[in-house]
A and B are shown apart, each in its own frame.
Chain A
Amino acid sequence: MPEVDFTVEVCGMAGDGTIAAGGLINEAMSHGGFSVLGFDSYPAEIRGFGRCVTNSRIGSNEIVALGEKTHALISLNDEQSRSRTPSLAEHSLVFFDSNPPAYVPEDNSLLSVLPPGAQVFGIPFGALAVGASGASRGRNLTALGGFAAVTGVDPNLFRKVIRDKFKAKGDRVVDINVKSFDAGYEYALEKFSDRLKSIFSKIETDHDPKKVMLSGNQAIGMAAIDAGLKLYFGYPITPATPIMEYLAKYLPERGGRVVQMEDEISSIGAVLGSFYAGTRSMTATSGPGFALMTELITHGVMAEIPAVILDAQRGGPATGLPTKTEQSDLHAAVFGGPGDSARIVIAPTDVEECYHFVIRSFQLAEKYQTPVIVLTDFFLDNRVENRPLIRAMEGQAASWNVFPDEAFKDHYQRYADTPSGISPRALPGMEGFNFTATGLEHTEKGSPDYSPENHAKMSEKRHRKLRYALKDLEKPAEFFASDHLDVGVIGWGSTFGSVLEAVEKSRKNGFKVGALKVTSIFPYHSETIGAFMAKSKRVLVPELNYEGQLANLIAHLDSKPVDRLNFVTGTPIPPSAIQSRIEELLGVLA
């Protein structure tokens, strides 16, 4: 059976309908039974002269990373699309408007910069759209029609997703949009009849109707609702805002509410307050907002109050690169804030894990009575994947609260020093368990106490609790497990997909390479990670940050130095870069 691994980009100016077109490609190909991973990049300036690009990688096998070489480029604006040509594959297909809405000087034309061998398809997108619908707004759909005709996509797939997208706007809108698509489709079918490809038409795929197209942000929002979230407190910040917007729409129908707070400090303050009162709540933010939260996060550690904080990382430091991706908040998440304030940090690596990890974060926060930080990043939050998504089973999101035994009524010790370090937690309203939660160092009873013995004892208790939490934290997963490896690659977060693809390709080239996926960032499974490092002749940790923040965290687990591959480009690490580095290391070994 022939395989497909095809990447298509749509590029235009803000306002060209670029993102919508890319979304329709993802949906249509998902309905066609393909595995899809899509990622949009859009400008930080909403009304600026920004470039919009969508990248969709479509495969007959499971896709885990972004496409590196573009096999088809759909240009809605030639000047902007010029920037996309360096990533074009050989013999790529290029669709452009042969009758563009604005005059493009010849020196600025897309055609002048295309690599030799590119196959160009000029289609009058705007004119066809006007003919079909009376307005040129549908030119992005006309372009999709041309793309579908030339690549051999069943036009009914596009017609279906166009209908689904516009059905809320009424039959007329659906009709003119389908007509715009058809105009492009028919034009291309006839005009390029001798150049049509059958890239998608001959592929058989196992269509799984349970597969849903979801972004990381949507999965996070769904998980929060399925976990019984009642309150969301947040402050707008890219790229975490879509989570707030998703919940603002869907939480009220589940009896919950979203409160847009005055800043990130009050957001985490209110999250702590509501968990203290026994109600599940959360906040989501990005680096700059996370920095503001750190004091109250350590208050949660000290006063032993649960909290769920999602940090959707973006490029930093300071305001940094709001719409670019990076994994540079790991140190801040693990160590940020005053004092010895160990907290739980977990990091999903794909959209499906976003869902399951967010549900688990509420339970971990309740049981271990400490803030739980879920680290995602711009790429993971905004990429879409079609995966079979299993919604939480009944009871899967059940409370993990540990309440005090009735026997302790009237002589309750809120911070009792137990073997596990977990002190049963009472909630306001419980008769006979009144206590004051405090961020001051305190006795088991909860009274402020700065004596040397007490601070030593209670610090030990809090850290013991965190060590104990490890048993509820997901173990690192080994891929292509083997007793000895020439190169062991350790990946985390959104980068792991690239790691997996790179390792798989290196193995196909005959190299003894393995991968370890680390999702529990703190506390971490030092024995499992250490053993993986020990059996690997070289250890490589690719990350989207300058220093190698995970590498710094785990380097001490083995005596040999860790090899780092650090990208600070604001874009995901391409699998080929990891593969090259692996094979470079192998060259050193040989």
Chain B
Amino acid sequence: MLTISLILLPIIAGLITLTTKGENAKTIASIFAFAEMILGAYVYYSFAPNASTQFAASYDWIHSAGIKFSVGIDGISLILVCLTTLMVPFIILSTFKNNYKNAPTFYALILFMQAALIGVFTARDIFLFYFFFEVALIPVYFIAAIWGGDDRIKVTFKFFIYTIFGSLFMLLALVYLYMQTAGIAHKSDFESIYAAAKTLNITQQSYIFGAFFIAFSIKMPLFPFHTWQPDTYVESPTAGTMLLAGIMLKMGTYGLIRFVLPIVPLAVDKYGMIAVILSVIGIVYGSIIAIQQKDMKRLIAYSSFAHVGLMAAGIFSRNIDGIQGSLIQMLAHGINVVGLFFIVEIIQQRTKSRELARLGGITQTTPNLTVYFIILMLGSVALPLTNGFVGEFLLLKGVYQYNAWAGAIAGLTIILGAIYMLRMVQKSMFGITSKITDGFSDLTLSEKVVLFPLSFMVIWLGIAPNMFLKLTEPAVIQLLSIVK
């Protein structure tokens, strides 16, 4: 029931928000989002650290086809459920300064999005997973396309078609797997699908791998399917960008762990190297482009592209360090990127610009902002004792075990990451005050309310990563036992 309430609460909250008028919408939405966060915390504390699927619930959905509305949380789901419930309240709080037209719709869409995301991460039936996977796209599309920047129509349209195109291939793969399940009455729950997958030969697996790979690597995105990403991140309103980069991107990595590894192990053996190479290219390529960016939002977009490449490489390395690292990095990256995008939003609100060349010298009047910015930046750079370090360390270790060369090249991410992040902070915050940054006011209370917890989590997770790692470990070990 707990999982069902996690999905239902945001839907109900969204419907209530829709009925409110104007200013009240954000208050109502944030109250519900915090309620959801408390529910998420309860799930976290009552989660038993073993490999089982907990808080499971299952109802008949499409009886004639053996499809069930079946949800549950295991260690891998847990970390993403935590990420979603943790981030959405802050994403909503981060918009408190803005006055969006049709605010009730805006906040309702964020809450619907949250419900769909939790659905994706807790689904235990492939078609339920697909259902939520696609549904999640609709709110974020409308958020980006209605409240976004000038070029939003074209950019978000490209994003939508691109991702749906990928998903359709996944649908084909899922239907094919469903048809392979034993008996005349097919089933679509994960266990039946895993069992059916064991009977597939290498040719079948290769096709399924291809279909899954297209779907998930567009979603994440991996090189060379990333062309929709920077524009969409830049044109979306900041809340939309946070949802996309902070949480939605993880749908792709989650899909890789949940489907690709256990269902098509032979194909991953054969083609995994190609995936790792593409991921590593993405890391280096994304970082190099990030170094050259003039626009802060675009810079973080490319850094996100580089980070997700490392996560994918870790997953395809198929060892415990790689997968554990990618899981903890999903959480850490979510926190960091939400914080960084919020800081960009703050700077943009006060100076009306995100261009590095026009900024500078902000730090002179803003001790608070500087501290938070640097903490979040260091988290993103993966300095020891920050959340980014744990993830990247494990990931690089995992990739190195898989292939030393890939590990070595992927390791460039640390150096390149430091270059683009430090460059961004230096150009925007330090140096001489420019015309538009003159008289930049420091953080207000409502901004601190967002940045303090996020920065706190950056450090806390860096010191005590085990609070999540020990919960995910049994599930990852079990997953690897299916893979091997």
- Whether both chains belong to one complex is answered with no
Which residues does A use to contact B, with CB under 8 Å?
A: none
